[in-house]
A and B are shown apart, each in its own frame.
Chain A
Amino acid sequence: MNKILVVDDESSIRLLYKDELTEEGYAVATAATAREAAEKLYAEEFDLIVLDIKLKNESGLDLLQKIVKERHNLPVILCTAFSCYKDDFSAWLADGYVVKSSDLQELKDEIKKVLVKKTQRSMMKQV
């Protein structure tokens, strides 16, 4: 079972993601802050992170840079209310970019796609 870490400062959104993604068959953990996310990443292994860009007093993009630096194999999907970050260079580090929507289908599709790519990459490495 793939493990996903959802990082979002809105508790309702964390709950919604957890419900929906669990229903999809993923093991979901959540974090409200960058610090909490870092602690969870240190404590356990994850297959993917769904990251919000605007966290309360922090930037999801800073956290993204840290993750890319320290865990370059861990894919990250940015999920934000803003579409403008799509053209931001620092957002290009992420493996996927999804604009928040009540219809989570796009996010679910993106997760699947990214995880498939991740599996392919690790298989290629093994070969």
Chain B
Amino acid sequence: MDWECCWTNEEIEPGKCPYITEDEKELCTSLKQRLLDKCLECPKFKNDLKKLSETDSPAAAAIQHLSEEYLHQKEQLHYLAGFLNSRNREIQFLHEIGVVLQTSMELDEILSVAMTAITAGKGFGMNRAFLLLTDKERIKLKGYIGVGPRSYQEAWQIWEDIGRNDISLKEMAKNFYDTKLSSEKVKFQDILEQLVIPLDDRNHIINRTMLKGKPLLVEDSFHNIDVDPALARILGVDTFLILPLVSRNRCIGVIIADNFITHKSITTLDMESMETLAFPVAYAIERASLYERLQEDLVKLTEANNKLKEQQQLIVKMEKMALVGKITSSIAHSIRNPLMIIGGFARSLQRNLAPDDPKREYIDSIVLEARQLEDTLTEVLGYADSLHPATDMWDLNQLVINVCKEFQDKLAKAGINLSLNLGPDLPMVLIDYKQIAYCIRKIIANTIEAIPEGGAIRIKTFPETDCIVLEIQDTIPTITMTAKDFMTSAEFTTQEQISALGVSLCKMILEKHSQSFRAEKAPEGGMKYIIRLSLQKEEISRE
């Protein structure tokens, strides 16, 4: 019988079988191998089997069955080898990215690894991928990053580069993170801006997929009634994959992947493989977000802690000041009573002595010295009072009225006109009543001493954007020493400068307390003292 195939020859000449390539020359000398690898699939062999079956040989049917079964098994084996190969690659690849995902705390680094894994040929080999993340308020999903080529030309360029530099997936992700991340964000800016999906839109295919927590392969997107036409138009592809990122039952976001350039079909196997990636990615993203939030909270806490320390130091300082104030006040008090008795009785004696009495000079001296000591004590006590912190919300107008009442008699005696122009409905200000009252008292007292009879003092209060202004203006024609002290930096150097001491304390209090304090010569004559008291935010809003 003439056989068409070469299966009966132990050896054949190279080139005799058209199915044996140049690289498979060893098959020409090995019948067994040639039979299994080539002949069983060769059409000529199939013709030979047909001929054999026509001879009524029982071996023909058996060979036929064996041949078919062998081919079937071979196909199965091939498939399984491919499957195992791909799974092996996948495990290696997942291990590689798993290491990065577990060690990285930075969101962008994690995203670089995830997106490279999806789009790189060594990974899942998708052409393009978009990541959408839920916003902090959990109101919507927003496009965060897109990866992949935008055109065929760019695609070829990328693939050629990758082909030339045989680098691992990890290196590829690192390169991406270092050099491409920001440019990719810009490249897909237009698409990312459009990829905004409200989370309360329960019918949206993306939200539905997120809620189910299972990946979804979307096909025929332009005609699919389940797909929002806007989404299909934005992506511009017929088929795409939605991969939800869920961590501890919380939706972090989704990855949309497609083959925008090659239009290669996406298989269920691809989908399942990518699902295994979704878990560690979602977990890593959530961890990175929490870490980021933790960092922000840490900064806030550090700031708060520093502020607290400052406040604590301030409180300690204030307590020390208050203590100094209490001690000074107590000492001054124990001096004032005996001083008053000495001075008081000296005055009584003074009144009853004849003008030419030789003792008069001594009595006059006692009266004068007692008076001077009392004046110094008044200054010290006034300052000591101001050291007791008594900060609270006060009505500035009421404070001004109370202080002015104290001067009613003195003003009347000196023939000075005091006018008040107080702004209506002023908001309360956070001030130390005693300190501010002390300062206003001091300014008015100094003015009364220097102002000529018939002079005037005008006090005005009015609001400004973030403060309340208090203006005290007099009609003293010349600048007094005290006024000069207010305008410059008054320092008390000698015992005699009691008023300078008061001015110094006054200035110190006002500069510490108010937004600004100024003493200036008024254009219309006289001095003008301007005190700006800051309004707290809540006071402004209350206003």
Are A102 and B339 in touch, CB under 8 angstroms?
yes
- Asked if B518 is at the interface of the complex by the 8 Å CB criterion, the answer is no
Residues of B within 8 A of A82 (CB): 329, 333, 381, 385
Mark each residue of chain A from 94 to 106: 1 if its CB lies under 8 Å from any CB of chain B, else 0: 0000011111100
Main SS class of interface, B: helix
Q: In the complex the two chains form, what is the Cα distance from A81 to B377 in whole Å?
A: 10
Residues of A within 8 A of B333 (CB): 54, 81-82
B103-111, B143-151, B239-247, B366-374: which lies at the A interface? B366-374
Residues of B within 8 A of A84 (CB): 329, 381, 385, 388, 434
Give, as a whole number of angstroms, the nearest-CB distance from B335 to chain A: 9
Question: Known: A12-B341, A81-B333, A87-B433. Is A102-B378 also a contact (CB below 8 A)?
Answer: no
- Asked if B337 is at the interface of the complex by the 8 Å CB criterion, the answer is yes
- For B336, B344, B346, B388, the residue with the greatest tally of chain A CB atoms inside 10 Å of its CB is B344
Give, as a whole number of angstroms, the nearest-CB distance from B382 to chain A: 6
Are B329 and A102 in touch, CB under 8 angstroms?
no
Are A103 and B385 in touch, CB under 8 angstroms?
no
Are A102 and B344 in touch, CB under 8 angstroms?
yes
Are A102 and B382 in touch, CB under 8 angstroms?
no
- Asked if B437 is at the interface of the complex by the 8 Å CB criterion, the answer is yes
Contacting B336 at CB < 8 Å: which of A12, A81, A86?
Answer: A81
Are B385 and A102 in touch, CB under 8 angstroms?
no
Are A83 and B385 in touch, CB under 8 angstroms?
yes
- In the complex, besides A16-B344, A101-B340, A102-B371, 14 extra interface pairs with C-beta distance below 8 angstroms are A10-B337, A10-B341, A16-B340, A81-B333, A81-B337, A83-B378, A84-B388, A87-B434, A100-B337, A102-B339, A102-B367, A103-B343, A109-B409, A113-B409
Are A102 and B342 in touch, CB under 8 angstroms?
yes
Contacting B344 at CB < 8 Å: which of A54, A86, A104?
Answer: A104
Residues of A within 8 A of B409 (CB): 109, 113
Are A83 and B341 in touch, CB under 8 angstroms?
no
Q: In the complex the two chains form, what is the Cα distance from A102 to B434 in whole Å?
A: 25
- Asked if B348 is at the interface of the complex by the 8 Å CB criterion, the answer is yes
Q: In the complex the two chains form, what is the Cα distance from A61 to B371 in whole Å?
A: 27
For chain B, give the interface size range. 20 to 34
Give, as a whole number of angstroms, the nearest-CB distance from A87 to chain B: 5
- Asked if A19 is at the interface of the complex by the 8 Å CB criterion, the answer is yes
- Asked if A38 is at the interface of the complex by the 8 Å CB criterion, the answer is no
- Asked if B345 is at the interface of the complex by the 8 Å CB criterion, the answer is yes
Are A101 and B374 in touch, CB under 8 angstroms?
yes
Residues of A within 8 A of B347 (CB): 102-104
- B356-409 with Cβ < 8 A to chain A: 367, 370-371, 374, 378, 381-382, 385, 388, 402, 406, 409
Are A102 and B340 in touch, CB under 8 angstroms?
yes
- Asked if A20 is at the interface of the complex by the 8 Å CB criterion, the answer is yes
Give, as a whole number of angstroms, the nearest-CB distance from B424 to chain A: 24
Are A83 and B382 in touch, CB under 8 angstroms?
yes
Give, as a whole number of angstroms, the nearest-CB distance from B431 to chain A: 12
Q: In the complex the two chains form, what is the Cα distance from A99 to B329 in whole Å?
A: 14
Mark each residue of chain A from 44 to 71: 1 if its CB lies under 8 Å from any CB of chain B, else 0: 0000000000100000000000000000
- Asked if A13 is at the interface of the complex by the 8 Å CB criterion, the answer is yes
Are A83 and B381 in touch, CB under 8 angstroms?
yes
Q: In the complex the two chains form, what is the Cα distance from A104 to B344 in whole Å?
A: 7
Residues of B within 8 A of A87 (CB): 402, 433-434, 437
Which B-chain residue is minimally distant from A52 (CB atoms)? B337
- A9-62 with Cβ < 8 A to chain B: 10, 12-13, 16, 19-20, 54
Residues of B within 8 A of A12 (CB): 341, 345
Q: In the complex the two chains form, what is the Cα distance from A102 to B345 in whole Å?
A: 8
Q: In the complex the two chains form, what is the Cα distance from A12 to B342 in whole Å?
A: 9
Give, as a whole number of angstroms, the nearest-CB distance from B392 to chain A: 11
Residues of B within 8 A of A81 (CB): 332-333, 336-337, 340
Q: In the complex the two chains form, what is the Cα distance from A62 to B433 in whole Å?
A: 23
Q: In the complex the two chains form, what is the Cα distance from A10 to B340 in whole Å?
A: 11
Give, as a whole number of angstroms, the nearest-CB distance from A113 to chain B: 8
Are B381 and A102 in touch, CB under 8 angstroms?
no
Q: In the complex the two chains form, what is the Cα distance from A81 to B333 in whole Å?
A: 6
Are A16 and B337 in touch, CB under 8 angstroms?
no
Q: In the complex the two chains form, what is the Cα distance from A10 to B406 in whole Å?
A: 27
Which B-chain residue is minimally distant from A83 (CB atoms)? B381
Are A102 and B337 in touch, CB under 8 angstroms?
no
Are A13 and B348 in touch, CB under 8 angstroms?
no
Give, as a whole number of angstroms, the nearest-CB distance from B18 to chain A: 116
Which A-chain residue is minimally distant from B408 (CB atoms)? A113
Q: In the complex the two chains form, what is the Cα distance from A101 to B329 in whole Å?
A: 16
Give, as a whole number of angstroms, the nearest-CB distance from A120 to chain B: 16
Are B348 and A19 in touch, CB under 8 angstroms?
yes
